[in-house]
Chains A and B, each alone.
Chain A
Amino acid sequence: MSLSISNLSKTYANGVHAIDQLNLDMGAGMFALLGPNGAGKSSLMRTIATLQLPDTGEISFNDIDVLSDPMKLRKVLGYLPQEFGVYPKESANNLLDYFAILKGVSSSKERRILIEKVLELTNLTDVRKKHVSGYSGGMKQRFGIAQMLLNDPKLIIVDEPTSGLDPAERTRFLNILREIGTENTVIFSTHIVDDVKEICNDMAIINGGQVLKHDTPTNCLDEIKGLIWLKQISRAELEESEATYNVLSSNYNTDHSINLRVHASEPSEGFEPTTPQLDDVYFIALQNVNNTHN
């Protein structure tokens, strides 16, 4: 079970280099794609999901050459775009039946059993006769999972699935994903670092269409052990501190003081060591690029 991407490039008609000589390999399990808005995550995922053709490069999944035989990949592909809609005024049942036909389940009996099961898994059985267009955000995302499961996919691609979900929905959603991810390859993009920490066994940080860092979350954290320092400062000191230190992030406390996280090999005055978090990994990766560009 492995997806391999090599030398992938895509430039849009408006001149944007969405993907730039990108190489990436991943095996079974949950793979997180991290990156700021506009980093090229969605472009990459669409390209893997056969929705657009790259200018150059190769993608293969197991023995499938994705670019030359997209239909073969589609048979084992589950894809949930960042934003999707459904035909208005259609019930979950009807829509799932529609997708099941599209996904090649030709027996209506099998479709019925399959749909019952995916509805149950996504906890939509009660509302299966309601119009999906009227679902709440979480229900709609679960519907997205339900339709995705219909073809028993081996490669699952989900683009920022948890944004906009309430904590309970988010947990539930991630649980399902994780469950699928035990045997299959699940790629999911997010900018919520917590998502990654909880369930991912591999991750990549990308920006500008390139991979900045590719490692397991544990390794990433180990790498910066003892290099993250914390200091509480007042609002007035912020600008000066930012100029002085290699600040990764800063956030308010309830008393208007500010927590400053700094990446450095040696502590400066007033700093205390703190446990590294994935956020730190993410910011460091982005910083490195900025520094090299400077």
Chain B
Amino acid sequence: MLSVIYFYELKYWLKQPTTYIYAFIFLALATGLMTGFAGSFDEISTANGPLKWANSPINIHKIFGLFKELILFLLPVIIGHSVYRDFKSEMHSVLYTYPFSKASYLFAKWLSSTTIVILLTSMIGLGCMIGSILPSVNPGLIGPTLLSVYLHEYLVYLIPNVLGFGAIIFAVVILTRSVYSGFVAVFVLVALEQISTRIFVSLNLLDLLALFDPFGQMAVQYYTHLWTVVEQNTSSLPLRSLIIYNRIFWLMLSASIFYFGYSRFQFSHSGSIFSWRKSPRSKSRKSTFGSISKIALPRANYQFSFIDHLKSCWKLSQIDFLYIIKNGTFMTVLVVGFLLVLFTLAQMNPQYATKLLPVSWLMLLFPTFFFLMVVHLLTFLYAGILIQRARNSKMNQLVDVTATPNWVLLISKVLAIIKMQIVLLSLIMIAGVLIQTINGFFEYNLGLYLFHLFVINLTACVIWAFLAIFIQTLVTNMYIGLFLLILAAAGFGELHLLGIETDLLKFNQNPDPGFILSYSDMSGYGAGLVPYLLYKTYWTLCGLLLIFGAWTLWIRGFPGNFLARLSIAYNRFNRNSSLVFALLAAAFISMGYIIHAGQESGETDLSLTRTASNDSFEKYASLTQPRVTDVYLDMHIYPEKRSFKVVGKYTLVNLSNISIDTLIINYRSDVNTTCVDQSTVLMTLDETKNMELFRLATPLQPGDSMIFEFEVKNVSNTLFKKNSPIEQNGTFLTSHMFAPGIGYKSDDLDMPHPTDSLARQNMYRSQDADFINFETIVSTSADQIAIAPGYLQKDWIKDGRRYFHYQSTSPVTNDYVFNSGTYAVAKETWLHGKDSVALEIYHHPSHTYNLDRMMRGLKAGLEYNSKYFAPYQHKQARIVEFARSLGNYGQSYANTLPLSEVSFVADVHTDQVGNIDKLYGGIAHEIAHQWWGHQAIPAGTRGYALITESMSEYVALQVTKHEYGLSMLEAYTEQSLRTYLKQRAKVNGKESPLIYNNGQDEAHVPYQKGSLALYALSEYLGENHFNQILRKYLHQVRFKSAPYTTSIDFLKVLKNEIPDSLQYLVSDLFEEVVLYDNSIEEVKVTALDDGTFEATVDFKVSKYNSGAQGIRTYQTTAAPKVADEVMTLPLADYIEIVAYSSEENGNLKIIHRKKYKISETENKLTLTLSQRPSRVAIDPEHLLLDANLKDNFKSL
């Protein structure tokens, strides 16, 4: 019997046109994705090292992962529907009397529908194969096609997932006899996955995450996330313990749920859990049969005016809305969604290195990301349900003969959906306020909540609702409608994969792909708000056209087939409706034109009129140019216009011994620069995009000086594009954004080698000056304070604008910054011997949360650097807050440290193990730059960041350790090490050694690895001793101009000062890319008679050279020859072994800590310990760069 039903069902599905639609879509999507990955739609040069193959096992796994949601969607639609069909058509009351067993009925249904789903998913594999052999793909991105890869993917992941989750959905549907609960089950499953991922990631339980991830993807990632490109291309997917356990766990779980459903299922008319019949008639009294009564209806007014129709619209929408929210499906989604939002909010760290306070904009940031997808999904679903509602319950004829026009019915559905969206969005607000309250943070910004949710987010949701209503009206099968909509939602953002670039064709998308409408307490939504709203207006008009389309296609009565519907639609264009259509279409097209024109318009950027490539100036690269010695600027900041203008004067001195008759000026992009004084600069001889070569009126003789005057304005802003870094409040404007430079400037981002003597003539942040005298008068609006490097001489108000005069008293580097905002100022004084330094924090008035911590960090940094290295060169240190729309980092200029708003709302806790005070360390880091960058000034060569970033971050590590102790330091170094390893994996293991790295695209090398390397040396040599070496180096180079110092200078000092036994460290850490693979293998503890304990520790030490391309080898330039079977570079390393015991309160106490000299990979150590050890660890401070930290300790 089973096989009869099985094949009957198969035939049923194979006869459904929808089956083929799904199959086609899967095939097309997979083909498109594969060709996209294989570079059909973009140009990829093959110059930069190994390329990732589009059809490598791991990438195929990723492509399959992208289909997860679509496959999940098929489960209720096909597997759930296979039984639901029988309930829905009431066929079951007939069917269940037939002579077949429950087992054969259910298994046949489940197996047949599962077969269909698996057949459909096989289209993905087929699509991938087709995609990889299409002629348009880049052959460099395609590896060999291996059938085994696909087999592995299907057998280990796809088929078990379909079997397992299909069984769960099937069980849910047979128990509830509702296919909608199948959808809810899918939703719950996805929500569970999200929640568990967040929990496990936040607790750092990655192995548990790998074990319990429903789809097994995390288990794969667990083993593969550190794979380099070569490994990704060639290795097949691992089939290791966690993956196998994961698969077994989920199959067992779904089997038990299936069994539960199976055993509870009965062949009966109504379901076993919910019954759709209300409990039968309590007293069904039949009275007065046959009595004849006069039909006299009370008089009622039947109103059909336009106003009355609008009223009906509202009332009908209320009824549909109540239907939605009273529905069990919706309530489940609502509750689960709410919990998810609450949970996300309670977590809310992931995006920033430091946890932030629950400020309102943050509350809106995280949940909207996930929750909006839920809102869209429910919109798609309920658009279908509402539009099909009357037809599905066979009430449509009763509705269709009433005198209510189609548009009233249609609009009432739209309104109901919008009301639902408002309810959903309100949840974010409720959850946000709840979380803020729980955290004791009572500064609710209700206005922001309302505006963000009900203006910014709701418009986007409503536009989707318009599309959903249209599609669900057009397609009478709700599932196909839903499928198309999900596809559209996922697809419009990815149109660029198909080469469609204009965003006017990307439904409901934002102005550009990178567009983020972020809110700042300082500058609000900034310049992005207007374009956002204009785009939403454009798409709203498009949506209204779609609603018009839905109106023409609205089904009333029995219109017949699709062609007949089209002809009815055509007939619905009468005079009124044509007018509405014409108006909408005209508005839509003109809005599109306005946007298009607005994007193209704006004042011309002068650099665009100069067309020649900068390369043509390379011939002037060696031309002798004067140096800038004095800078005077009249800076005008216009916050309300988001513009600035600066009139400046450079004093140029000919420091060479030849006469100079030409001057090259290089301009910054996005600004228009004009030379003001035409008498000095005669005529243009040559020009490129960003540079101009002038003839000087009088040649500049050696030792002579001249004044160069210029004016710079930002390219004027348009409605769509802000061309200046000026914000309404919290401006952060650096000299790199506007100040013209002298001399040839290369476009080449790659830095010269530190041995390049020509390159050593210039410091790392300026090519035309050494030290300058800096003076500026900066003006801003009357309510703002403007800040620039130097000391304030005077401030005054004139013509409604506020002026500040700043001047530096000692020469500074030619690198400066302007800030402007409505600030409050916190002041303190730091006393150091006889000197006192004024500490100031310019902050947004309400951002007072971390001022104390910042002051402490500032003092700690000043203290540490002046104690060990050299005195502070200024009388003042200022932290200045800038809007988060301009970045979330900090930077260090002469006596001025601009710092992002984000740091000001950091929520730092230091009371638990594992907490790190990154803000304290971060401020110390920035102030340390006043030494490392402003006293020791490296040349603009590779390795410069070792002198600036590594040193500053090293200071951050040290002050953190001194303030908070070793346990926070270990957490800090562990985090740094993890960041380093993760970033390293992202750039595929490519890495240059510390002294040669260029700091731009591998920031993790100087920051994380550099600071760890310096810290390791300080631990091996002793902090004091090591700092003496740094001091020695600093004093050698302090305030030295050309030739500027380089990483090589530092290395020389280091090598001279370090004992021979540790020289290996210098070469491993600074000259090579060497990583370790250490592990504690086994620990045996025996209690001795005298009350002490003996622990035998087996541990492995191995180090390897990872090289520039991330390929593991066991040789270096220092040790070129080594036998491969040893699997390590030669060892003579000092490695720390630490034993801990547990204290009463659960904390760990160090009972043994010693560095051992290791020369073998396999080691055995016997420790005599005073207490029973509970944990033994190798290198817990992370002095060595170990790529695998999981096996570095053993808990006993």
**A interface list, Cβ under 8 A from B:** 12-13, 46, 49-53, 71, 74-75, 77, 79, 81, 83-89, 94, 98-99, 101-107, 110-111, 113-114, 117-118, 121, 123, 126-127, 130-131, 133-134, 136, 144, 147, 149, 151-152, 168, 171-172, 175-176, 179-180
For A107, give the chain B residue with the smallest CB separation. B301
- The answer to whether B316 and A85 have CB atoms under 8 Å apart is no
For B294, give the chain A residue with the smallest CB separation. A179
Please name the 10 residue pairs, one residue from A and one from B, whose CB atoms are nearest each other, closest first: A51-B557, A85-B394, A102-B402, A74-B403, A104-B302, A75-B403, A79-B401, A134-B278, A110-B300, A81-B397
- The answer to whether B308 and A175 have CB atoms under 8 Å apart is no
Q: Is B509 an interface residue (CB 8 A)?
A: no
B401: which of A51, A130, A131 is its contact (CB, 8 Å)? A51
Contacts of B303 in A (CB 8 A): 104-106
For A51, give the chain B residue with the smallest CB separation. B557
List, sorted by A's number, 27 A–B pairs whose CB atoms are closer than 8 Å: A13-B564, A50-B557, A51-B397, A71-B403, A77-B401, A83-B394, A84-B394, A86-B395, A87-B323, A87-B395, A88-B276, A101-B312, A101-B319, A101-B404, A102-B316, A106-B301, A106-B308, A107-B300, A113-B298, A121-B293, A123-B287, A127-B284, A134-B280, A151-B402, A171-B289, A172-B289, A175-B292
Q: Is B286 an interface residue (CB 8 A)?
A: yes
Q: Is B661 an interface residue (CB 8 A)?
A: no
Contacts of A46 in B (CB 8 A): 397, 557-558
Contacts of A102 in B (CB 8 A): 312, 316, 399, 402-404
Q: Is B290 an interface residue (CB 8 A)?
A: yes
Q: Is B1195 an interface residue (CB 8 A)?
A: no
Q: Chain B nearest CB: distance from A203 CB in Å?
A: 22
- The answer to whether A103 and B295 have CB atoms under 8 Å apart is no
Query: Which B residues between 378 and 425 are near A, CB-CB below 8 angstroms?
Result: 389-390, 393-395, 397-405
Chain B interface extent, by class = 35 or more
- The answer to whether B301 and A85 have CB atoms under 8 Å apart is no
Asked, given contacts A46-B558, A52-B557, A81-B398, whether A114 binds B403 with beta carbons under 8 Å apart, the answer is no
- The answer to whether A87 and B297 have CB atoms under 8 Å apart is no
- The answer to whether B405 and A71 have CB atoms under 8 Å apart is yes
Contacts of A74 in B (CB 8 A): 401-403
Q: Chain A nearest CB: distance from B405 CB in Å?
A: 7
Q: Chain A nearest CB: distance from B935 CB in Å?
A: 78
- The answer to whether A79 and B301 have CB atoms under 8 Å apart is no
Q: Chain B nearest CB: distance from A13 CB in Å?
A: 5
B298: which of A75, A114, A130 is its contact (CB, 8 Å)? A114
- The answer to whether B402 and A133 have CB atoms under 8 Å apart is no
For B406, give the chain A residue with the smallest CB separation. A71
Q: How far is the CA of A101 from the CA of B300 in the complex (A)?
A: 12
Q: Is B834 an interface residue (CB 8 A)?
A: no
Most buried by A among B278, B288, B294: B278
Asked, given contacts A84-B394, A168-B286, whether A118 binds B403 with beta carbons under 8 Å apart, the answer is no
Q: How far is the CA of A75 from the CA of B294 in the complex (A)?
A: 22
- The answer to whether A151 and B290 have CB atoms under 8 Å apart is no
Q: How far is the CA of A133 from the CA of B395 in the complex (A)?
A: 11
For B567, give the chain A residue with the smallest CB separation. A53
Asked, given contacts A13-B560, A79-B397, A104-B303, whether A117 binds B297 with beta carbons under 8 Å apart, the answer is yes
Q: Chain A nearest CB: distance from B564 CB in Å?
A: 7
Using A46-B397, A114-B298, A179-B295 as known contacts, list a sample of 12 further A-B pairs with CB atoms less than 8 Å apart, ordered by residue number in A: A46-B558, A51-B400, A86-B395, A86-B398, A87-B390, A101-B316, A101-B319, A102-B404, A104-B404, A121-B293, A152-B297, A172-B291
Contacts of B400 in A (CB 8 A): 50-51
Contacts of B302 in A (CB 8 A): 75, 103-105, 151-152
Q: Chain A nearest CB: distance from B1159 CB in Å?
A: 79
For A145, give the chain B residue with the smallest CB separation. B295
Q: Chain B nearest CB: distance from A54 CB in Å?
A: 12
B312: which of A49, A106, A151 is its contact (CB, 8 Å)? A106
Most buried by A among B304, B389, B556: B304
Q: Chain B nearest CB: distance from A178 CB in Å?
A: 8
Asked, given contacts A51-B558, A79-B398, whether A103 binds B403 with beta carbons under 8 Å apart, the answer is yes
Q: How far is the CA of A84 from the CA of B394 in the complex (A)?
A: 5
- The answer to whether B290 and A172 have CB atoms under 8 Å apart is yes
Query: Which B residues between 299 and 344 are near A, CB-CB below 8 angstroms?
Result: 300-304, 308, 311-312, 315-316, 319, 323
- The answer to whether B289 and A168 have CB atoms under 8 Å apart is yes
Q: How far is the CA of A123 from the CA of B284 in the complex (A)?
A: 12
Asked, given contacts A46-B558, A88-B276, whether A105 binds B397 with beta carbons under 8 Å apart, the answer is no
Asked, given contacts A51-B401, A101-B315, A172-B290, whether A75 binds B297 with beta carbons under 8 Å apart, the answer is no
- The answer to whether B401 and A114 have CB atoms under 8 Å apart is no
Q: Chain A nearest CB: distance from B85 CB in Å?
A: 17
For A118, give the chain B residue with the smallest CB separation. B297
Question: Please, what's the 1-or-0 string for B228-269, where 1 marks a CB less than 8 Å from any CB in chain A?
Answer: 000000000000000000000000000000000000000000
Asked, given contacts A83-B394, A85-B394, A134-B277, whether A104 binds B297 with beta carbons under 8 Å apart, the answer is no
Question: Please, what's the 1-or-0 string for B655-697, where 1 marks a CB less than 8 Å from any CB in chain A?
Answer: 0000000000000000000000000000000000000000000
Contacts of B699 in A (CB 8 A): none
- The answer to whether A105 and B300 have CB atoms under 8 Å apart is yes
Q: Is B1190 an interface residue (CB 8 A)?
A: no
Q: Is B619 an interface residue (CB 8 A)?
A: no
For A179, give the chain B residue with the smallest CB separation. B295
Contacts of B291 in A (CB 8 A): 172, 175
Q: How far is the CA of A133 from the CA of B294 in the complex (A)?
A: 28
For A13, give the chain B residue with the smallest CB separation. B561
Contacts of B288 in A (CB 8 A): 123
Q: Is B285 an interface residue (CB 8 A)?
A: yes
Q: How far is the CA of A237 from the CA of B568 in the complex (A)?
A: 58
Contacts of B290 in A (CB 8 A): 168, 171-172, 175
Q: Is B703 an interface residue (CB 8 A)?
A: no
Q: How far is the CA of A171 from the CA of B398 in the complex (A)?
A: 23
For B315, give the chain A residue with the smallest CB separation. A101
- The answer to whether A133 and B276 have CB atoms under 8 Å apart is yes
Most buried by A among B286, B291, B401, B556: B401
Q: How far is the CA of A121 from the CA of B308 in the complex (A)?
A: 28
Q: How far is the CA of A147 from the CA of B280 in the complex (A)?
A: 23
Contacts of B294 in A (CB 8 A): 179
Contacts of B281 in A (CB 8 A): 127
Q: Chain B nearest CB: distance from A198 CB in Å?
A: 12
Q: Chain A nearest CB: distance from B298 CB in Å?
A: 5
- The answer to whether A52 and B398 have CB atoms under 8 Å apart is no
Q: Is B559 an interface residue (CB 8 A)?
A: yes
Contacts of B316 in A (CB 8 A): 98, 101-102
For A131, give the chain B residue with the smallest CB separation. B278
- The answer to whether A106 and B298 have CB atoms under 8 Å apart is no
Contacts of A134 in B (CB 8 A): 276-278, 280
Q: Chain B nearest CB: distance from A25 CB in Å?
A: 22
Most buried by B among A46, A85, A89, A147: A85
Most buried by A among B297, B398, B556: B398
Q: How far is the CA of A179 from the CA of B399 in the complex (A)?
A: 24
Q: How far is the CA of A87 from the CA of B300 in the complex (A)?
A: 25
Q: How far is the CA of A134 from the CA of B295 in the complex (A)?
A: 26
Q: How far is the CA of A49 from the CA of B556 in the complex (A)?
A: 12
Q: How far is the CA of A229 from the CA of B1045 in the complex (A)?
A: 129
Contacts of A94 in B (CB 8 A): 319
Contacts of B300 in A (CB 8 A): 105, 107, 110-111, 113-114, 152
Asked, given contacts A79-B397, A102-B402, A103-B302, whether A179 binds B561 with beta carbons under 8 Å apart, the answer is no
Contacts of A180 in B (CB 8 A): 295
Contacts of A179 in B (CB 8 A): 292-295
- The answer to whether A106 and B289 have CB atoms under 8 Å apart is no
Contacts of A53 in B (CB 8 A): 568
For B323, give the chain A residue with the smallest CB separation. A87
Contacts of A79 in B (CB 8 A): 397-398, 401
Q: How far is the CA of A241 from the CA of B568 in the complex (A)?
A: 54
Q: Chain B nearest CB: distance from A221 CB in Å?
A: 25
Q: How far is the CA of A129 from the CA of B695 in the complex (A)?
A: 96
Q: How far is the CA of A180 from the CA of B297 in the complex (A)?
A: 11
